[in-house]
Amino acid sequence: MPQRFTVRPFQLRDLPRILQIEVASFGADAYDRNLFAEYARISPRLFLVAAPSSGKPRRVCGYSISLVLPKGDRAELVSLALDPAFLGSGAADSLMRSTLRRFRLRRVSRLTLTVKISNLRALRFYQKYGFRKLRRAPAYYEDGADGILMSLAL
Asked if residue 44 has pLDDT above 60, the reply is: yes
Quote the CA–CA distance of 61 and 5 in Å, as a whole number: 9
pLDDT, residue 1, reads 45
Domain 5-108 top-level CATH class: alpha beta
pLDDT at position 72: 80
- What is the model's pTM? 0.92
- What residue segments make up the domains of the chain, in order of their start? 5-108
Q: How far is 7 from 42, CA to CA, in rounded Å?
A: 19
Q: What pLDDT score does 70 carry?
A: 87
pLDDT digits (tens, 9 = 90+) for 56-77: 557 899 999 999 998 889 999 9
Average pLDDT, the chain: 93
pLDDT cut 70: percent of the chain above it: 97
Crossing angle between the packed helical segments 15-26 and 33-42, to the nearest 10 degrees:
120
Beta bridge partners of 63: 49, 81
Amino acid at 82: L
Alpha helix segments (H runs only) across the chain: 15-26, 33-42, 91-105, 120-128
| pLDDT tens per residue, range 73-127 | 999 999 999 999 999 999 999 999 999 999 999 999 999 999 999 999 999 999 9
